[in-house]
Amino acid sequence: MDAKDLPTIYYACSLPVKAGGEVVNWQHVAGLRKLGYRAFALLDRNSQVGIPSKPYYVPMVHWGDDIRFTEADWLVVPEVFPPESFKALARLPCKLVVHNQNPFYTFRGFSSTSEMNRFPFSGGLCCSFFTRNTLIAWGSELDWQVVRPQVLQLFSAGDLTKKKRQIAFMPRKRPTDIDLLQGIFLSIYPEHADVPWIEIKNMSRRQASKILKESLVFASLSKNEGLGLPPLEAMASGCLVCGFHGEGGQEYASEENGWWVSEGEWTEFAHGIHNALTSSEVDVRRRCKAGLETSARFNEERFIDDLATAWKFLLQGDQSHFQVSTRLDGKVNTNAY
């Protein structure tokens, strides 16, 4: 069978990439290509195609009137699509999979899990066991396949001895709460008034990784997360992590790798930052080691293994029809189709 006649797996993607969950969709396409699958990023009509290697070197097609789905094709869409989009998708002949990366966003597209259960999904992907268990507890009947994302390699610890005594933070999920946190912290610990707070906002991932590599502390402002990548990226960068696990972060949060607090525990949050700033050199090394070990579990190898297992289940042993092996110099060239 010629490659162009093979059934295809499409992931709904967008450019430019903004949130971490959008990066994960590209990870999936790149991972499937690495496994030899015929997979494409399906860009929304408003996407502006940039350099293909950013964020991943995968083939891209624009969603338009020229796209013809068949019953053999698969289309993966995010849980954040609005109701009208899901209604339009239900009319397509292809098999539909929802990729839920945040259970707290589930009801942007559906009024209830009962309504979602009635939708003609052929499967579900999710980013964590927390997300899967939460959706099942809310009544979802989909057989959710867990594919844990990988922490990008650019978030890697540099020279830990060159860390600056500063606090990095990402306010996207709590834009108005940072003033509260800083006010409580400085009220209890005025001796830390000279410690800079470095905001990570509207930056490339490379710029964010530079700040994390320089910063001793990362204040986690996670909220309603399906997993929560920023704390993992901070741990991979050698930061001491303090703050909210955002519910989904319970998947990896421990007493060894951070000073974690539950929702509303702002005073404990402030105490955690103080403890991080005043930790002994021995404790800093121990905490950093635990954080590095935690983030290392979210590696490419495990991600690819999760992805392969999920799609083997979804395709029910029919995956050979989605695979092409074009060999050049003894290696599989997965960019040739």
Mean local confidence (pLDDT), 186-214: 95
308 and 290 part of one domain: no
277 and 170 part of one domain: yes
Instruction: Provide the pLDDT confidence category of residue 160 given band limits of 50, 70 and 90.
Output: confident
3-class secondary-structure state, position 122 = strand
**What percent of the chain has a predicted confidence (pLDDT) above 70?**
90
| Residues of the domain holding 224 | 160-296
Give the pLDDT score at 169.
Answer: 98
Domains in the chain, number: 2
- Average pLDDT taken over every residue of the chain: 90
Give the pLDDT score at 337.
Answer: 38
Backbone phi, then psi, for 331, in 5-degree steps?
Answer: -120, 150
Comparing 120-134, 282-296, 302-316, 322-336, the range with the smallest average pLDDT is 322-336
306 and 290 part of one domain: no
Q: With respect to residue 29, please indicate whether it lies within any of the assigned structural domains.
A: yes
Q: With respect to residue 337, please indicate whether it lies within any of the assigned structural domains.
A: no
Identify the residue whose tokens are 């001796």. 191
At 180, which CATH number?
3.40.50.2000
Mean local confidence (pLDDT), 54-82: 86
Q: Which run of H or of E encompasses 42? A: strand 39-43
Sign, Cα dihedral of 278, 173, 228, 236: negative
Identify the residue whose tokens are 């579990």. 297
> Distance of CA 228 to CAs 49, 98, 148, 235, 287, Å?
27, 19, 11, 12, 19
236 and 321 part of one domain: no
Token representation of residue 166:
């500063």
38 and 69 part of one domain: yes
254 and 184 part of one domain: yes
10 and 142 part of one domain: yes
Give the pLDDT score at 335.
Answer: 40
Residue 5 has pLDDT above 70, yes or no: no
18 and 138 part of one domain: yes
283 and 222 part of one domain: yes
Burial class for 136, CB neighbours closer than 10 Å (0-12, 13-18, 19+): middle
Q: With respect to residue 155, please indicate whether it lies within any of the assigned structural domains.
A: no
Higher-confidence position of 185 and 15: 185
Higher-confidence position of 48 and 311: 311
Give the pLDDT score at 30.
Answer: 94
In whole angstroms, give the CA distance from residue 133 to residue 49: 36
Identify the residue whose tokens are 């789905």. 69
192 and 55 part of one domain: no
247 and 322 part of one domain: no
3-state helix vs strand vs coil in the chain, percent to 5: 40, 20, 40
286 and 303 part of one domain: no
Rounded to the nearest 10°, the torsion over CA 51, 207, 334, 64 is -50
Give the pLDDT score at 63.
Answer: 84
